[in-house]
Amino acid sequence: MFSQILGALSYLHKNNICHRDIKPDNILYDKEKQQIKIIDFGVSKNMKLRGRYENMLTDTGTFYYKAPEMFAGSGYTEAVDSWAAGILLYEMITGYTPFASEYLIDTKENIVNAEINFSDEEFYYYKPMVKDLISNLLKKDPKERIKCS
């Protein structure tokens, strides 16, 4: 399922679309076709405007899935979808988002610091490459973050 999510995001990015709100609520699963579908393009953005790529500035998306650069206010790229995919994979494994805290200000601080905790027992059963994939999707620096492709 996660491979399909990355494939769908890669397709969007190749077509200059950044979803900007990847979260469980926006992923559907067709049991018959065994296929995922990404929905709700209400805040998506065409990244290529006037013939050139521009950083996006709009503060949008769901708080727990926002990438650190979205809080900086200096612009961001489609790398925010990679970040959200990393959050989604972590949540698929553990049942909760990695940076959530009781207070939103603490959650924001956790996101901005981007320190991932793999000590949960759920990760005991997963191969190191799963942790590596999550770590590379959740790199603090968007230039170091792996792309969905």
Residues labelled catalytic = 21
Helix (H) or strand (E) holding 37: strand 35-38
For residue 2, the SS3 value is helix
Half-sphere exposure of 140 (CA within 13 A, CB side): 11
Separation of alpha carbons 24 and 21, rounded Å? 10
Separation of alpha carbons 76 and 92, rounded Å? 25
Which of 105, 9, 94 shows the shortest CA–CA distance to 63?
105
The position carrying tokens 């959050």 is 87
